[in-house]
């Protein structure tokens, strides 16, 4: 089998040959003041991990259908969650798939179901491997051999119906390849998650992903018109009707399925003409309560916006520190002071995308809403900078890790009524989550936690939190810090009525909190559906639902 070498480095986010970006001195100082100096930890080397990898349980490559190469197995063992990073950086990988398969068409996927059944193995669909919730890792509690199914050979544009605005792609198509295939036709999908460069259409559908401009272009569930899900029980064809009243919508069985019921081999998406104009002006609001009110009014105004992104004062301060332009930031703060904004302003970025006249109108309307809440506009340069760096920001995670800091994010959505309390509770849970005697000196670790509203809807908003803490020389201790923070924040989310995920999905990491949203009967129904499509639990057991989910008839 051809040896495939993804561009992403095996234990991080940046390209294999790239150096991490520089962390500006202002941001380093901020972190040192907030949580103390980091102590870099040593990384394991891929060659050493490969040399120490236990052999695969398989002793043949199934007629060329499996790769047993240690490097292929290691590169597909983990996604991008913080536990994944800790495992990869320390070289303590835990379970690694026994083999990797790369089917080139739907027939080859069906053959893999037969192979898995014959060999008593399970299959793990793997798109870009950017899951941040443990969606592509082998189940530690399932001792069946695991075969990762990489979808990168199921890629490319298969059909384009320009008249209907429908494009069919292989599920393994990466974001940039998808847009590049549409660009000559002056069409776009407009789906830009921050992981866009490294994630796939199939992964987006399987996780109900949201792009940065989803409030304008639509989340993937609005864009996914139909497709083909290969399940061990058969093929589920999902035709791309513009609308249908013919019973429940079976597309929902693929959306958010997280590989639990089968493998999506192709997807038909709704595409639109490339917008003529995009404006991303920025405003500053004087304080968080007024900023929240402004965002709510903007969200409820029915304007043709593609993004509304409101940072808390602490996130605003962190972004300004990361800009690394001390003099420019001091001048900005002085100017904001004159306009009576500050000392703890909130940054609001808004994108309007579409025909010129509509964009102008939308920006004007946002401006008058923001001014009603005491805010002031600062023009388009911050927005242009955001656009330039939109896919580069995650590179900082590599740079911060090298300085001894672990970074993770989590997200939720809730109605406007409960949002203020939820935001306070999540912030508190993260900031105080490591208090107590975790580092032996009785004081515990501090956490730098900040957040923004990333998607604003008429009835509520998402909340996206980033948290930074010092990693320990002992990877188990770092993992324990993460677990404490994740648990505290997830409990705060559920207690305040938020969803356990607005966009990242459930995977393994969010599973304990799924019942709070779906209820016992709801979970059991989802279990029945998975069991009907995959009676032997061959595909991604333990992700989204327990490996052996309860039966609906058993629920109260
Ligand atoms: C830096 C960074 C930024 C991110 N930003 C965003 C963001 O802005 N918005 C957002 O929504 N998410 C974001 N994510 C999360 C992640 O990128 C999304 O969940 C994405 O949709 C996953 O796509 P993928 O192709 O990488 O799927 P993978 O990570 O490979 O898989 C995700 C899940 O889907 C299943 N799966 C994958 N392909 C298929 C298929 N063809 N058929 C069936 N099941 C399949 C897998 O088994 C797994 O359970 C981010 C992640 C990172 C690391």
Say if residue 2's pLDDT is above 60: no
> Would you state the pLDDT for residue 69?
97
285 beta partners: 346
Question: Does any ligand 1 atom lie closer than 6 A to the CB of residue 171?
Answer: yes
Question: What is the pLDDT at residue 324?
Answer: 84
Record the tokens describing residue 364, joined without a space.
Answer: 């004007």
CA distance 464 to 466: 7
Query: What integer best gives the mean pLDDT of the chain?
Result: 95
What pLDDT score was predicted for residue 276? Answer: 85
Report how far ligand 1's centroid is from the alpha carbon of 538 (Å): 20
**Average pLDDT in the 359-371 region?**
97
Q: Which atom of ligand 1 is nearest to the CA of 543?
A: 49
- The H-or-E segment that residue 362 falls in is helix 356-372
Question: Cβ(254) to ligand 1 under 6 A?
Answer: no
Mean pLDDT of 151-179: 98
Q: Kindly provide the residue ranges of all beta strands, DSSP E only, lying in 203-327, ordered along the sequence.
A: 224-231, 234-238, 263-270, 272-273, 277-279, 282-285, 305-311
Interior angle at CA 138, CA 224 and CA 1, nearest 5 = 80
d(CA 223, CA 430): 34
Q: What pLDDT is attached to residue 5?
A: 43
Evaluate: CB of 103 within 6 angstroms of ligand 1.
Answer: no
Q: Do 21 and 393 form a contact (C-beta atoms < 8 A)?
A: no
**Is the distance from the beta carbon of residue 505 to the nearest atom of ligand 1 less than 6 Å?**
yes
- pLDDT single digits (tens) 18-67: 999 999 999 999 999 999 999 999 999 999 999 999 999 999 999 999 99
Ligand 1 close to Cβ of residue 306 (< 6 A): no
Could you identify the atom of ligand 1 that is nearest to the CA of residue 200?
Answer: 25
295 lines ligand 1 (CB under 6 A): no
Digit-coded pLDDT (tens) for 465-510 = 999 999 999 999 999 999 999 999 999 999 999 999 999 999 999 9
- The pLDDT value given to residue 552: 67
pLDDT at 470: 97
Q: Report pLDDT for 553.
A: 62
Phi, psi of 93 (to 5 degrees): -80, -15
Span from the CA of 410 to the centroid of ligand 1 (angstroms): 14
Residue nearest ligand 1's atom 21 by CA: 204
- Position 550 scores a pLDDT of 67
Task: Give the distance (Å) from ligand 1 centre to CA of residue 129.
Answer: 7
Ligand 1 centroid to Cα of residue 296, in Å, is 29
Considering only 193-197, 366-370, 383-387, 436-440, which range has the smallest mean pLDDT?
A: 436-440
Going by alpha carbons, the residue nearest to atom 48 of ligand 1 is 135
Q: Does the pLDDT at position 196 exceed 70?
A: yes
Predicted local confidence at residue 3, as pLDDT: 38
Position 554 scores a pLDDT of 61
Q: Which residues pair with 435 in a beta bridge?
A: 444
| Widest Cα–Cα separation across the chain | 73
* pLDDT range class, residue 555, cuts 50, 70, 90: very low
Q: Mind listing the pLDDT tens digit for each residue in 89-135?
A: 999 999 999 999 999 999 999 999 999 999 999 999 999 999 999 99
Distance 438 CA to ligand 1 centre (A): 32
87: nearest Cα among 127, 17, 138: 138
**Ligand 1 centroid to 169 CA: how many Å?**
16
Query: Residue 441 pLDDT > 80, yes or no?
Result: no
Among protein residues, the one whose CA lies closest to atom 7 of ligand 1: 193
For residue 146, name the pLDDT band (cuts at 50, 70, 90): very high
State mean pLDDT over 441-456: 92
Q: How far apart, in whole angstroms, are the C-alpha atoms of residue 116 and residue 97? A: 13
Determine if ligand 1 sits within 6 Å of the CB of residue 137.
no
How far is it, in rounded angstroms, from Cα 96 to Cα 283? 47
Q: Which pLDDT score is estimated for 1?
A: 40
Say how many Å lie between the CA of residue 318 and the centre of ligand 1.
27
Nearest ligand 1 atom to alpha carbon 539: 47
Q: Is 541 in the pocket of ligand 1 (CB under 6 A)?
A: no
Question: Worst-scoring range by mean pLDDT, 329-333, 371-375, 406-410?
Answer: 329-333
For residue 215, which of 517, 51, 5, 456 has the smallest C-alpha distance? 456
Distance of CA 503 from the midpoint of ligand 1 (Å): 9
Tell me, letter by letter, the H, E, C secondary structure of 385-414.
HHHHHCCCCCHHHHHHHHCCEEEEEEEEEE
For the cut 60, the answer to whether the pLDDT of residue 6 exceeds it is no
């Amino acid at each position: 089998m051809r040896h495939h070498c993804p561009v992403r480095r095996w234990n991080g986010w940046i390209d294999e040959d790239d150096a991490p970006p520089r962390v500006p001195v202002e941001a380093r100082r901020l972190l040192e003041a907030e949580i103390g100096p980091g102590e870099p930890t040593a990384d394991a080397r891929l060659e050493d991990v490969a040399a120490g990898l236990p052999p695969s349980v398989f002793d043949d490559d199934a007629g060329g259908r499996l790769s047993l190469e240690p490097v292929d197995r290691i590169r597909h063992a983990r996604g991008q969650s913080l536990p994944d990073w800790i495992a990869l950086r320390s070289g303590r990988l835990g379970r690694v798939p026994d083999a990797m398969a790369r089917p080139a068409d739907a027939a080859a996927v069906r053959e893999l179901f037969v192979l898995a059944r014959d060999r008593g193995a399970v299959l793990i669909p793997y798109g870009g491997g950017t899951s941040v919730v443990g969606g592509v890792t082998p189940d530690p509690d399932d001792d069946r051999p695991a075969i990762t199914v990489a979808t990168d050979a199921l890629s490319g544009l298969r059909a384009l119906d320009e008249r209907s605005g429908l494009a069919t792609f292989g599920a393994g198509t990466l974001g940039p390849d998808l847009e590049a295939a549409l660009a000559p036709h002056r069409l776009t999908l407009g789906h830009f998650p921050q992981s866009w460069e490294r994630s796939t259409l199939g992964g987006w559908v399987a996780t109900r992903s949201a792009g940065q401009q989803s409030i304008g272009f639509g989340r993937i569930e609005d864009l996914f018109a139909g497709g083909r899900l290969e399940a061990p029980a058969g093929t589920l064809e999902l035709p791309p009707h513009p609308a249908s009243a013919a019973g429940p919508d079976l597309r929902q069985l693929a959306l958010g399925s997280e590989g639990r019921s089968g493998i999506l081999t192709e997807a038909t998406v709704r595409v639109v003409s490339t917008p003529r104009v995009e404006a991303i002006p920025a405003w500053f609001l004087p304080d968080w309560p007024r900023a929240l009110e402004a965002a709510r009014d903007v969200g409820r105004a029915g304007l043709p916006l593609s993004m509304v992104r409101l940072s808390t004062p602490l996130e605003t301060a962190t972004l300004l520190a990361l800009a690394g332009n001390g003099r420019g930031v001091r001048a900005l703060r002085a100017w904001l002071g004159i306009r009576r904004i500050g000392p703890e302003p909130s940054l609001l970025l808004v994108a309007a995308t579409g025909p010129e006249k509509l964009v102008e109108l939308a920006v004007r309307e946002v401006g008058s809403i923001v001014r009603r809440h005491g805010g002031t506009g600062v023009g388009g340069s911050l927005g242009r900078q955001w656009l330039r760096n939109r896919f580069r920001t995650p590179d900082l995670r590599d740079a911060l890790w090298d300085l001894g800091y672990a970074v993770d994010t989590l997200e939720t959505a809730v109605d406007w009524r409960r949002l203020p309390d939820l935001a306070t509770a999540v912030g508190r849970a993260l900031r105080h989550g490591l208090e107590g005697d975790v580092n032996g000196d009785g004081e515990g670790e501090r956490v730098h936690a900040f957040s923004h509203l990333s998607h604003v809807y008429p009835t509520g908003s998402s909340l996206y939190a980033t948290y930074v803490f010092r990693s320990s020389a002992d990877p188990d201790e770092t993992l324990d810090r993460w677990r404490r923070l994740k648990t505290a924040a997830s409990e705060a989310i559920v207690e305040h009525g938020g969803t356990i995920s607005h966009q990242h999905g459930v995977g393994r990491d969010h599973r304990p909190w799924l019942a709070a949203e779906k209820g016992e009967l709801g979970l059991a129904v989802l279990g029945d559906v998975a069991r009907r499509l995959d009676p032997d639990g061959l595909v991604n057991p333990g992700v989204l639902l327990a490996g052996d989910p309860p039966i609906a008839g058993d629920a109260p």
